[in-house]
Structure 1
Amino acid sequence: MEWSRQLKFFMASVVMIVVMSGSSIAAFAKSGSLIPMGNSIGIQLELAGVFVTSDVPLSKKNDSLKAGDQLVSIDGTSVNSLQNLHEQVTAMKDEAVIKLVLQREASDVKIESDGLSFKRALPFLKDTTEGTGTLTYVDLDDGTYGALGHQIIDSSLNSAPDFDSGSIYLSEIEQIKKSSPGNPGYKISSIIDQEETLGSILTNSVYGIFGDWNTSYKEVLTEPLEVMQPSELTVGKAEILTTIQGTKVESFEIEISKLSNDSFQFILTDQRLLEKTGGILQGMSGSPVIQKGKFVGAVTHMFVDEPEKGAGLFLGKMTEVGAK
C-alpha cells in the first residue's frame, strides 16, 4: 500500500499461507463478475500446534515461556493440541521436573519447569484463534469466496501463525463501539450457527482470506456485479456494503478521494453510518465498494486519527494471490 503510516489494520483479533489453485482466478477472469457480499463473518482457525500467548515465568533456572513460542514436546512426548496436552498434564505431579522443547523464532529451545508452574501456565496456551470481519465476494463459477482484503494477524502472537484448517461463519452484530480520533471502534458480534459454515479457509494472504464456499448456503447471496477495472474508477460518489446491526447488509455513501495503481482512498459521507459508528470500524474490513453499478474492491484500512477516512483494495489485486 502507498498510503500514510497512519493507516492501521482493523482486525478485531486474529494464520501459514496456503495458496489456492490458479483455477479460481481463471474463472474470475472469464466471468468478469462476482457477487458482492458485505455480511459480517466470524473467523475460526485451528492452529498447527499449541502456542504461548503471553510471557510466563517458570520456577526452574529462571526459565520462562515467551509469547509466540510453540510448545513442541513435554518430556519427549509431542504436543499437537490442547486436548492432547491436558491428557499429559492430568498425570503430572506438582513437584515433578519436566523438560519442555519450544520452537522460538525458528529455533528449538529447551527449558525446564516444575509441574505446578507449568499447570499455572495453561491459561496462556492456545491451539485456536478467532476474529471477525466482512465477506467481500462469492464466485459461484468455481465455488470460492474472498474476505477482509488483508491478512489475519493474531494479536496475542503478533503474527500470522500456521494453521491446519479454518472456517468462516455468518455472524450478527450485537453492539457497536464507535470510532473516535485516535481510537478505532469495533463491532461486537457472535456466530449464528456453529454447525453451519459459510466456507473453509485455505489461504491467509496480505490481500485477504480465501477458500471454498459452502454452495448449499444460498440465503445470503445477491446478484453478481461486473468487476470494475482500476482505470474506470473515478473520484466522486460511491457506496460500501456492510453490516452494522444484526445480519442486514446495507448500502452507505462514500466519496472516492484518491486513486493509485492497486488501491484507493475514500471518505465516509453517509450521516446515518457516521452517527452509528463514528467512522470505519474494526471488523469492517472486506466491505465491498461499488461505483456506477460495478464492483470496485474492498475496504481494507482506516486513518486512525481521522476514522471517517479509509483506503480500499481493487478487487483484481485482492484476487491476484490465487494466481500465484
Structure 2
Amino acid sequence: MGWSKRLMLSASFAVILFFQPFQSISASSGERVIPMGHSIGIQMNLSGIYVTNDVLINNEQWLKAGDSINRLNGTEIISLSEFERVMTKVKKEQVNMNISRKGASVEVMAESDAVKRLLPFLKDRTEGTGTLTYVDPKRGTYGALGHQIVDSTLKSPPPFKNGAIYLSEIEQIKKSKPGTPGYKISTIIDNESYLGTIQTNGVRGIFGTWNDAYKKVLAEPLEIMQPMELQAGAAEIFTTVKGTEVEKFSIRITEVEEEQFHFILTDTKLLEVTGGILQGMSGSPVIQNGKFVGAITHMFIDEPKKGAGLFLVTMRDGERRN
C-alpha cells in the first residue's frame, strides 16, 4: 500500500488489511446509514477444534499449532465438549486420531494419556474486541472493524460455523506510546443478548444481521460521503473509551487516497486518556461536515496519534449481500 511507516491494526486481532476486487454495491449519493462507535465483543464458533501449540502425542509425533482434530477412534469431533466426552470413554493406551493439517487428512496414533492432556491446547472458538461501525436500518444489517479477523493461532481467517457480536463495556485503558500500541480492556455485558450475528468475515470487515431488539442504541442516520468529497482538515470520530458511552473526538484529515485516508488525532481529551489510537478502535466511525466518511482501521506504531481509515463506500462493498 506504499505507506512509509510501520502500521498496526487498531483491533485486538493481529491481521493485515488487504484490498481485493469485489462486485461493487457502493453507496449511491444520498444513501444513509447509522454511525455507531460502540465497543463490541466478538465471538466466533469455529468449524471444529484446533490445536493452539505444538504438542508431543507419542515418542516421535507432534500435533502442530493449526491442526484440527476430526475424529478420535472413529468418532467425529466437532466441539471441545465432544472431545471430552469421547476421551472419558477411552480405555486403551493408544488413540487413533484423524487430523487435518494444511488441507491434508492425516492419521496418527497417540498415547491416550497425552491426548487427555491436550485440552488446554485446544480451541473451538475465537474471540476478540473491536468497534461497531454502522447499522443499515433498511437492510437490517451492520458492519464492524473495517478489516478481517485472523485467528492468532491459525494465522489465517478462521473457518467458522456461526458467530455474534455483543455490546461490551470498557473497564480499563492501556495508553499507547511510540513503539508500543495501547489497548482497551473490556467485557461483554450480557452473553445472552447479542447485537447481531456474524455472516461474513471479509477483508473489509465483519458483517451480519442486526438484532432489532437493540433499537435503543441507534442514533439518526447520516448520509454516506463519496470519497471525492473528503477534504483535508477537521473531522471527528465516534468511539468508546469509558464504559459503554460513545463520544465524539476531533481529528484532522491529512491525506486522501483512492480507498483510504490518513489522519491525526487532535482531541486533547482523547489523547490524555489513550495516548493515541488503541487496539480495539478498529471500526470507529469517521464523520466530516455531517457526512459519514468511513472507519478507522490502522495506526502508526511509531506515531500513535496518526492513523488511517477505510472509506465507508469501500467497506460496504465487502458486505456482499446475496
Length-normalised TM-score, structure 2 = 0.93
8 A Cα contact 1:99 1:112, kept in partner: yes
Instruction: Specify which of 206, 229, 232 is matched with residue 232 of structure 1.
Output: 229
Partner of 1:18: none
Distance 1:257 1:272 in 2: 20
Partner of 1:261: 258
Distance 1:220 1:4 in 2: 39
Instruction: Specify which of 62, 77, 84 is matched with residue 86 of structure 1.
Output: 84
Length-normalised TM-score, structure 1 = 0.93
Partner of 1:36: 35
SS of structure 2 residue aligned to 1:244: strand
8 A Cα contact 1:263 1:311, kept in partner: yes
1:167 Cα deviation from its structure 2 partner: 0.4
Q: Look up the equivalent residue of 1:53 and give its one-letter code.
A: T
8 A Cα contact 1:89 1:119, kept in partner: yes
Partner of 2:296: 299
1:14 Cα deviation from its structure 2 partner: 7.6
Residue ranges of structure 1 left out of the alignment (5+ in a row): 16-21
The Cα offsets for residues 157-216 of structure 1, whole Å up to 9 and x where unpaired, read as 222110000000101100001111111111000011111110000000010000000012
Partner of 2:129: 132
1:3 Cα deviation from its structure 2 partner: 2.9
Q: Find out whether 1:73 has 2:71 as its counterpart.
A: yes
SS of structure 1 residue aligned to 2:153: coil
Partner of 1:57: 56
Residue ranges of structure 2 left out of the alignment (5+ in a row): 16-21
Instruction: Specify which of 151, 169, 174 is matched with residue 172 of structure 1.
Output: 169
After TM superposition, list the pairs within 5 Å mapping 1:133-152 onto structure 2: 133-152=130-149
8 A Cα contact 1:240 1:289, kept in partner: yes
Instruction: Specify which of 196, 202, 215 is matched with residue 212 of structure 2.
Output: 215
Distance 1:320 1:204 in 2: 13
Q: What count of residue pairs does the alignment treat as equivalent?
A: 315
Aligned CA RMSD, in angstroms, stands at 2.0
1:33 Cα deviation from its structure 2 partner: 0.7
1:149 Cα deviation from its structure 2 partner: 0.1
Partner of 2:3: 3
Partner of 1:112: 109
Q: Look up the equivalent residue of 1:269 and give its one-letter code.
A: T
Partner of 2:153: 156
Partner of 1:246: 243
